[in-house]
Chain A
Amino acid sequence: MTPSVALAAALLAAGAPALPPPAVGPGAPRPDAAALVERARALGLARDTGWLRLGHWRRGAFGWRSEARTPGFFLAPGGAEDPARELEATIEGMFSPAVPEPEGEESIEPERMHAQCRFPARLAYLVQKLELDPQSLPRQECVRLGAFWRRVAARSVTLVFSSYYLNNPSSAFGHTFLRLNKADPGAGGDRYELLDQGADYAAQVDTTNPVAYAIRGLAGLFPGRFSARPYFYKVREYADYESRDLWEYDLRLEPGEVAMLVAHLWELGGTEFRYWYLTANCSYQVLALLETAAPRLDLTAQLRWITVPADTVRAVAASPGLVERVRWRPSIQTQFAARTRDMPDRELDQVAALADDPATALPSGWSAAEGALVLDAALDLVDLRYAKQIVNETDPGALRLRQTLLERRGATGVIAAPLDAPPPPSGGPDAGHPSRRLGLAAGGGRGEPAFLVAEYRAALHDLADPPAGFSPRTQLEFGRVRLRFTPERPSLRLDEAWLLELASLNAIDRFDHRPSWRLRVGGETILDAGCDRCVAGKLEGGAGVSHVALGDAVVALGTVDAEVAAAPGLKGTGGSAARLGLGPTGTLRLASSSRFALLANASWRWLPSAAPAATYAWSVQGRAHLRSGSIALEWRRAPLANEALVWWRAFL
């Protein structure tokens, strides 16, 4: 029995009312399209939440506008702006005469499909709301829809979050997608998750120019599409290739809602949306898909203007009863850390040696089991170091290295036990603080009147924010603006405005020699003699090393940075308005618990051919995280500033 037939039988057995018998006889009234259109008008269905979500209509300044972009998503001309007309056209389309589906081609344009095959979710909606008798419809064969339905065979849905990946802008904030499970996780028995279908929404990138990529992504100039592929592709892509952990949130949805989700995914498959990196991105569309399948859910209304995948996970987790279970899939990097965490030095030495020279002989006293453990770790290390080269087969040496290790591991004859790699105590994105942050401070300084500061940050997390749910070694901040008000003057000025502030701390250990780096783009007030407290645009970046001790309680980063600052009136390099700076920056974070962090920052810059010849800035702040927000004490020092601030920050 195929899954779909079994599920249909189970649903009927669960008590769904039997379909009404078809009315027969010449005088018997049969609901036809016109009567149903009338009934729809009487019920006001065109304004119903379920219908509006099926068409992705949003109320704009000029009326309704659908987020779907391709005309093929609408049956009525102008349907993108008119939910009522689209509803009527859909009802009429369901009754149009059956047509044979074109054979032979892999895919056909949605326009060539009958409405029943093109919009199965809309059909199910009309059946439910209008009590449409499906037996009264023309019998239409839907070959491709049937094949898709069989391929997916969904019984439950899981929301998957792949964690932050700073090396790639489109993945820097994480990524969310759905997994359509062939089995019900609550039912027990075997699960073959790798064979489930993953459904996600992504931008269709057609440029290799990084500047165009950035501009078009931010400006909503890429089309976005839904696609479906087996989950094993996602696991290989995220957990193996990019070494990103996967958090899996099993969702509690009714069987009818799961069916609607798959049906609507089919409807979305042929259409495009505008992909906005900051707002209508992957995570937003995943929530919209869940809301369409289950109109009782209200998820996108909880999002703010900037949508970050972690916020959407939190919106789902906050919906009562929606998340049934949380699971975690460790990446290869995490697996390697778990393998080597408790290894004695002599074993770690062997792992390092094998990853360089796979023919390294193991010490003679070792058991086969110990040799197997060391080879397992060495194999993960090789996969970490040469992920791209191995997949793309660009480095024969790496492939030979892996081959030798594989053969040696196989020759031990030791069957590997399941690896114990528990999820991080800081939890998944559902445990994280909201990404928007508002701060207010009062401050004063030597030779300065008292002032007030207001700060707003659009997303996401800095090194001293509450650590739960985030990587302790990543700073990823977007859109931070700080204003300063000095009552005595009175004056209101822009202190700083940063588009991006990133720092990726890679702790150097015997296995990992990757550099750490930081990057800032934005503007800040120049606090030295270079100009009269002007606000200069700044681009600053650097690379260096990090050290981590006591399990992330002590984190230190040292980089060598280069920066360019420009402002009218700035005494820049060679007398120009732009100034080059070079020099070291150090950051130290001490976190005794998840409730308190001390963060210190110090930088010194040599300013060649500019006035002054050098500048510096340093700050120390201590932050305490309370239930409702954070309080902090901060001290800042620069050539023209020496001030202390008391902060109150809240996460929204």
Chain B
Amino acid sequence: MKTASKLLAGALFLLLATAAQAQTSSSSSSSSSSPKHAYGTAGCGLGSLAFGDQGGAIQVIAATLNGIGGQTFAITTGTSNCGEAAVSVRGAELFIEANKEALAKDAARGSGETIVTLSHLAGCKDPAAVGVVLQKQLTTIVPDGAKASVEKTISTLRSDKSLACSVLG
């Protein structure tokens, strides 16, 4: 009985949340494609999140990213500018921006966890095929600065129809 009551608690809570979601589904889908505020992906890279306004001796003795982002990742916002790890164009863009250093390296290698994850976010059919294409097109998606470019990566995935990245259209 104890387990069942726990399940009740869980089910109840989820039903409440789902009810909230059902009432707001229309507004949520619009917000994922065109955010209400003009917020690009650039602010979600590691560098800009970590050292936005910190400086001084703390950076010398304690240059860690622990707690990067501050308000960006506060829980009560409900949505999060940089934290939307959803299967969508914006989710793919945010992922590339936040992982651009690691993605450039995985693309050069033609395989890796960031490629598998990006392939999932973009709705591509086969992550191995995505890896092969990204490696072939490395100089396009990593034009300079040793980091993956959000626009170039998305357009490369979009334009290669054999990858069938359905989310990107």
Q: Give chain A's interface residues, CB within 8 Å of chain B.
A: 2, 4-5, 7-8, 11-12, 14-17, 19, 104, 106-108, 110, 116, 120-121, 123-125, 127-128, 134, 139, 141-151, 165, 168-171, 175, 190, 192, 194-197, 202-205, 207-210, 213, 225-230, 232-233, 236-237, 240-242, 254-260, 263, 265-266, 268-270, 372, 376, 379, 383, 388, 390-393, 399-400, 402-403, 405-407, 409-411, 413-418
Of residues 68 through 112 on chain B, the ones whose CB sits less than 8 Å from some CB of chain A are 68-70, 72-80, 82-86, 95, 98-99, 101-102, 104-105, 107-112
Q: How far is the CB of B73 from chain A (nearest CB, A)?
A: 4
Cα of A8 to Cα of B17 in the assembled complex, Å: 10
Q: Do the beta carbons of A391 and B50 come within 8 Å of each other?
A: yes
Q: Per a CB cutoff under 8 Å, which of A12, A106, A265, A410 touches B79?
A: A106
Main secondary structure of the interface of B (DSSP, over half): helix
Interface size class of B (residues with CB under 8 A): 35 or more
Question: Smallest CB-CB separation from B49: which chain A residue?
Answer: A233
Q: Which residue of B lies closest to A401 (CB)?
A: B146
CB contact between B15 and one of A8, A171, A202, A263 (< 8 Å): that residue: A8
The reply to whether A260 and B9 contact each other, CB–CB distance below 8 Å, is yes
B111→A415 contact, CB < 8 A: yes
**Among candidates A209, A213, A259, A407, residue contacting B14 with C-beta atoms closer than 8 Å:** A259
Residues from chain B with a CB closer than 8 A to the CB of A143 are 20, 24, 27, 78
Q: How far is the CA of A15 from the CA of B10 in the complex (A)?
A: 12
Minimum C-beta distance from A256 to chain B (A): 3
Determine the chain B residues whose CB is within 8 A of the CB of A205 once the complex forms. Answer: 58, 67
Is B73 within 8 A of A128, CB to CB? no
Chain A: CB-nearest residue to B5: A128
Note all chain A residues with C-beta closer than 8 A to B131. Answer: 415
Cβ–Cβ contact B66 & A175, under 8 A = yes
21 A-B contacts (beta carbon < 8 Å): A11-B14, A124-B10, A125-B9, A134-B12, A148-B75, A148-B79, A196-B85, A207-B58, A209-B56, A227-B74, A232-B98, A232-B117, A233-B46, A255-B7, A256-B7, A256-B10, A376-B109, A399-B145, A407-B108, A413-B135, A415-B111
B111 touches A416 (CB 8 A): yes
Closest to A108 in B: B76
Knowing A228-B83, A230-B85, A399-B145 are in contact, say whether A147-B78 is a contact too (CB < 8 A): yes
Smallest Cβ-Cβ distance to B146: which chain A residue:
A402
Does A410 contact B139, Cβ atoms closer than 8 Å? Answer: yes
Which of these, B7, B55, B77, contacts A16 with CB under 8 Å?
B7
Contacts A16-B4, A414-B110, A416-B111; A228 near B10 (Cβ below 8 A): no
Which residues in B have their C-beta under 8 angstroms from that of A16? 4, 7-8, 10-11
Q: Give the most central of A4, A15, A150, A169: most B CB within 10 Å.
A: A150
In the complex, besides A208-B59, A259-B9, 9 extra interface pairs with C-beta distance below 8 angstroms are A8-B11, A11-B10, A15-B4, A124-B10, A145-B20, A195-B120, A268-B75, A379-B105, A407-B108
- Interface residue ranges, B against A (CB under 8 Å): 3-21, 23-24, 27-28, 36-37, 46-47, 49-51, 54-59, 61-70, 72-80, 82-86, 95, 98-99, 101-102, 104-105, 107-114, 116-117, 120-121, 128, 131-132, 135-136, 138-139, 142, 144-146
CA distance A239 to B46 in the complex (A): 13
- Tell me the nearest residue of chain A to B28, going by C-beta: A147
| Residue of B51, B99, B109 with highest tally of chain A CB at under 10 A | B109
Determine the residue in chain A with the shortest Cβ distance to B121: A195
- Cα A237 to Cα B5 in complex, Å, equals 40
Closest chain A residue to B69, Cβ basis: A229
B22 nearest CB across to chain A (Å)? 9
Q: How far is the CB of B92 from chain A (nearest CB, A)?
A: 11
The chain A residue with its CB closest to the CB of B25 is A2
Give Cα A195–Cα B114 distance, bound, in whole angstroms: 10
Interface contact B139-A107, CB-CB below 8 Å: no
Q: In the complex, what distance in Å separates the CA atom of A150 from the CA atom of B121?
A: 16
Query: Are A240 and B101 closer than 8 Å at their CB atoms?
Result: yes
Q: Which residues of A contact B9 (CB under 8 A)?
A: 124-125, 127-128, 256, 259-260
Q: Is the CB of A210 within 8 A of B47?
A: no
The answer to whether B108 touches A145, judged by C-beta atoms less than 8 angstroms apart, is no
Which residues of B have CB within 8 Å of A383? 101, 105
4 smallest A-B Cβ distances: which pairs?
A269-B75, A144-B78, A208-B56, A410-B138
Measured between alpha carbons, how far is A205 from B50 in the docked complex, in Å?
A: 13
Nearest Cβ in chain A — how far from B91, in angstroms? Answer: 8
Q: What is the distance, in angstroms, from A5's C-beta to the closest C-beta of chain B?
A: 5
Chain B residues within an 8 Å CB radius of A175: 66
Q: Give complex CA distance A391, B142 in Å.
A: 15
